[in-house]
Structures are given as structure tokens and as C-alpha cells.
């Protein structure tokens, strides 16, 4: 029998490390196992590296366009190697902070491949060949997801990669890039390479970018990206990638017509799939569905004492959702009242709505929470919509923003806020206020009680609320 812990956590990403810290603070003995670095995909190969590149690319674009503010900068350029060093240093700083917290809280970190055995035992194959065994009162699985690939000829060619491979590659000076998939990851990386002077083509099978987003915002984003020189082909299917001179030739069908383009590299960004490979011994009867671990409303699996959270259960695949779920599970383990929720049923409805903010770190940023107008119609929920175009917002005028709009939805009868969508600078920061409002069932009148400072982007929320009344 292995060394005994109160809680064994498999996966050191946002679900795992948040669970570890919460459990340790509640007095549990905790060990966390991961085959890679502390921080998981989010810190090392996902959110943090991507946002670091977005920030850098945005600064570069601002410097090139600073003439609109009466400023002039000669010989503006960039060193791609140093940009990627900055990206790596940002991730390293977060890893170091996490490792320090683990030490302070007495959390044990084991690097290796974990396999769950019967009776809540875990076998860990460490780097170098050593095998260690752990035993836990509880096991929490937070192994996340990995990039999904597609079965297309040429997918194994050099230069065809997923976002994780792109973000960890030393070679990234691509003059031209085709991105398969018009979702969040693909669009964010498209803006980076476009801002740094690359030719970017997006091939998306759906009839719009970001299919789950409010159509007005999806269309506005498409117009902004197109105006910046990004080619977007919707309702298109990539059929083949072949080697061409020093690059790649991509053949795709767009609206029934054969098209082709030559690029330096292809980024495959078509979603993510649960990461469970090798996680269970053959005699462990874990229940899965389409590769995802099946859990109940309390994130318990079919095996007593084993829980799973985050992308591996295949619900909303966002880092902050995994963290919230992990916090909830650990609190239940310790009979502590829940401090987080991810959805709720407003008093005026009979259906639950998500209070999980969804954010896109483009320029301008996009953020949403709760229902969109389209979802409200599908659910048969009568709503009032308050809308404000940011053209008259003082801060938008000062910073010469290209475009911006805020929409806030309220129940037509009870006046309770049901959703919000923002396309503007600082949208990802501002969405928290509206998520809080939904979680607390606030009305438009209650939202107007609070003053919002002037001049700020945030004061536009008051304008959108006022427009709904």
C-alpha cells in the first residue's frame, strides 16, 4: 500500500492546483501528480502564453499606428525570439509562484504518469523509471483536455500543428499561416500573427465565427478581422495538405468551390478532447461517454471517493470553470458551505442559465455571460434588451477605439438581468460585474443604483441598462 493522503489530485492545471490549495487550507494532506510542470496546459501551453503574445502583438500594432495620437516612432520593429522569451518568462513566473505556495501549504508535488488502481490507489511512473504508489481517502481527477486533430491527408506533415505545439515551438516566424477552426483559440492566435505582419487565413466549417456567440458580435468581429487583412472562409472544409516547396499547400472547399492557398504552417484549432489516456488500470470500472468521464451533479464519478472536474468531464472547457468546480468539490469533501456556483435558475425562469463569463482576448475584447438574445428566443424567454454603441463613450473616444457595443438582457416581466455581451476595450474585466449581477438576481433598477466613474469604459454599462428601460 502506498503512502496515505487525504486527497490525491491528478493534474496540476487550474482545476488541480486550486483544489490542492483549497484542500490544504482546510487541513487536508494533499499530493498532486502531473506528468508536466505545475500549472498544466493553461499556464504552460495555453491561456498565459497566448495572452502574453496577444499583449505583445497589440503593443506592436499600437506603436505602428501611434500617428493617430500625434506620436511618431521611427523604425518600429520586433525580435520574435525575445517575444517568445517574454512569453516563456510570464509562464515561468506563474509556475514559481505556484510552487512557492505549494511549499508554504505543505502540498506534495510528484512529477510522473499517474494510473488509478482499485481501492483508491494510484501508481505513478516517474521520469527516470522509478515507480511510486499513493493511497487516498479521495481522488480528484483534473487531467484536462488535449487538442483534437482531424483525419485529413497531410496532417502529419512538418509545419502542421496544434496550438500547444505552436506555443512551445522555437520556430514561430511564419510569414503565412492557415488556421483550421474559427473558435476562440484560433481567432486569438490569428490576431497575434496578423498584428506581427503575417498573412493569416481562417477556414471555418460553420456559417460564422464563434458559433456560440451572439450573432451581432460574431459579425462585428469578422468585419474587424477582415479589415485588418485576415482572410476568413466560412462554410468551408479543409480537404488536403501537401508539401509545396518550402511550405505547405492547403486545398479546401468553400461554398462548393475548390480553393487552394500556400502557407508556411497550418494551425489545427478544432476543439479539445478529454485527456484520459492511460489514466485507469483495466480493472477500474470508470464510466465514460465519448471519452469524457461521467460525473453527477456533485462531480462524483461512479466509483465512490473518486471525483472529476474541468475539461476532462467535457462540460464548459474554461480554466475558471475547472477552478470553480474544484473549489466546490473540496468544500463538499469537508462539509463546508459552497462558495461558488456556475449556473443558477433566476426567480423569473424555469430553466438554468450559466453565470460563467466567456472571454475572447482580441482587440477589441469580447466577453459574455448568461443568455444571448438567440438563446432567449430558443428557450421562449421574453426579454428586453438594452444596447449602447461605444462611439459616444469618453474613454473610447480618447483611445480611438475602432468599434464597440454593449448589450444587456433583462426578463421582460420581472426586470431581472439574464445576460450580457460586450465588445469593447476592457470587456474581459467588466464582465465580472454583470456575472455578479446575474448571480444575485439584480434588476435594471438595482444596477442603476451604483455610480460608475467617468470617464471609463465601464460607465457604458449604465448607458446600456438605461436603454433597456
Q: How far apart, in whole angstroms, are the C-alpha atoms of residue 261 and residue 176?
A: 10
Cβ contact 15:142 at 8 Å:
yes
Give residues with Cβ within 8 angstroms of 413, minimum separation 6: 348, 382
Spatial CA neighbour of 144 closest among 292, 284, 6: 292
Query: Cα–Cα distance between 275 and 141 in angstroms, integer?
Result: 10
**CA dist., res. 441 & res. 344, Å (int):** 9
Instruction: Bin 158: left if φ > 0, else alpha if -120 < ψ < 50, else beta.
Output: beta
Neighbour order of strands in the sheet with 176-180: 160-162, 265-268, 176-180, 199-203, 231-233
Cα separation of 137 and 176, whole Å?
Answer: 52
Distances (CA, A) of 224 to 217, 220, 425, 459: 11, 6, 14, 24
Active-site choice (233, 255, 320, 454): 454
User: Dihedral of CA 201/205/207/213: which sign?
Assistant: negative
With vertex at residue 449, the alpha carbon angle to CA 444 and CA 454, rounded to the nearest 5 degrees, is: 105
Separation between Cα atoms, residue 183 and residue 178, nearest integer Å: 14
Residues 322, 329: contact at Cβ < 8 Å? Answer: no
Taking phi first (over 0 means left), then psi (-120 to 50 degrees means alpha), and beta for anything else, what does residue 192 get?
A: alpha
Helix (H) or strand (E) holding 367: strand 365-370
Burial of 370: CB neighbours in 10 Å, binned 0-12, 13-18, 19+: buried
Q: How far apart are CA 346 and CA 365, in angstroms?
A: 27
Beta pairing partners, 141: 10, 308
How do strand 383-389 and strand 353-354 relate by DSSP bridges? Answer: unpaired
Report which secondary-structure segment, H or E, holds 168: helix 163-168
454 labelled catalytic: yes
Is there a contact between 152 and 239 (Cβ–Cβ < 8 Å)? Answer: yes
Return d(Cα 150, Cα 269) in angstroms, integer.
Answer: 10
Q: Where are the alpha helices (DSSP H) in 10-46?
A: 14-25, 40-45
Q: Which residues does the annotation mark as catalytic?
A: 454
Amino acid at each position: 500500500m502506498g503512502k496515505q493522503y487525504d486527497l490525491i489530485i491528478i493534474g496540476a492545471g487550474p482545476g488541480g492546483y486550486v483544489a490542492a490549495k483549497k484542500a490544504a487550507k482546510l487541513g487536508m494532506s494533499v499530493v498532486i501528480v502531473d506528468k508536466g510542470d505545475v500549472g498544466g496546459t493553461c499556464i504552460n501551453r495555453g491561456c498565459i502564453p497566448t495572452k502574453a503574445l496577444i499583449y505583445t502583438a497589440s503593443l506592436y500594432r499600437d506603436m505602428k499606428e501611434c500617428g493617430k495620437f500625434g506620436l511618431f516612432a521611427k523604425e518600429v520593429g520586433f525580435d520574435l525570439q525575445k517575444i517568445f522569451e517574454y512569453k516563456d518568462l510570464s509562464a515561468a513566473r506563474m509556475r514559481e509562484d505556484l510552487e512557492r505556495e505549494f511549499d508554504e501549504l505543505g502540498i506534495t508535488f510528484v512529477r510522473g504518469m499517474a494510473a488509478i488502481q482499485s481501492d483508491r490507489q494510484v501508481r505513478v511512473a516517474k521520469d527516470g523509471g522509478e515507480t511510486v504508489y499513493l493511497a487516498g481517502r479521495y481522488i480528484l481527477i483534473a487531467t484536462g483536455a488535449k487538442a483534437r486533430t482531424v483525419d485529413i491527408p497531410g496532417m502529419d506533415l512538418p509545419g502542421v500543428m496544434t496550438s500547444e505545439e505552436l506555443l512551445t515551438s522555437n520556430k514561430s516566424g511564419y510569414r503565412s499561416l492557415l488556421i483550421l477552426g474559427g473558435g476562440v483559440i484560433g481567432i486569438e492566435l490569428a490576431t497575434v500573427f496578423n498584428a506581427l505582419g503575417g498573412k493569416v487565413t481562417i477556414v471555418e466549417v460553420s456559417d460564422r465565427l464563434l458559433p456560440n456567440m451572439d450573432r451581432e458580435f460574431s459579425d462585428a468581429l469578422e468585419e474587424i478581422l477582415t479589415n485588418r487583412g485576415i482572410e476568413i472562409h466560412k462554410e468551408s472544409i479543409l480537404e488536403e495538405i501537401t508539401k509545396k516547396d518550402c511550405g505547405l499547400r492547403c486545398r479546401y472547399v468553400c461554398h462548393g468551390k475548390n480553393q487552394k492557398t500556400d502557407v508556411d504552417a497550418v494551425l489545427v484549432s478544432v476543439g479539445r478532447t478529454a485527456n484520459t489516456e492511460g489514466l485507469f488500470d483495466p480493472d477500474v470500472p470508470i464510466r465514460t461517454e465519448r471519452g469524457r468521464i461521467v460525473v453527477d451533479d456533485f462531480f462524483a464519478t461512479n466509483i465512490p471517493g473518486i471525483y472529476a472536474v474541468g475539461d476532462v468531464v467535457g462540460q464548459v472547457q474554461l480554466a475558471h470553470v475547472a477552478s470553480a468546480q474544484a473549489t466546490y468539490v473540496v468544500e463538499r469533501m469537508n462539509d463546508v458551505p459552497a462558495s461558488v456556483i456556475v449556473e443558477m435558475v433566476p426567480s423569473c425562469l424555469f430553466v438554468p442559465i450559466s453565470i460563467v463569463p466567456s472571454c475572447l482576448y482580441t482587440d477589441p475584447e469580447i466577453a459574455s455571460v448568461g443568455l444571448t438574445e438567440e438563446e432567449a428566443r430558443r428557450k421562449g424567454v421574453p426579454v428586453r434588451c438594452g444596447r449602447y454603441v461605444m462611439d459616444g463613450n469618453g474613454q473610447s473616444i480618447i483611445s480611438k477605439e475602432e468599434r464597440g457595443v454593449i448589450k444587456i438582457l433583462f426578463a421582460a416581466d420581472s426586470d431581472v438581468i439574464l445576460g450580457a455581451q460586450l465588445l469593447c476595450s476592457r470587456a474581459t474585466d467588466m464582465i465580472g460585474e454583470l456575472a455578479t449581477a446575474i448571480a444575485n438576481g439584480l434588476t435594471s433598477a438595482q444596477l442603476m443604483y451604483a455610480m460608475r466613474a467617468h470617464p471609463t469604459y465601464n460607465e457604458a454599462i449604465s448607458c446600456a441598462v438605461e436603454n433597456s428601460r
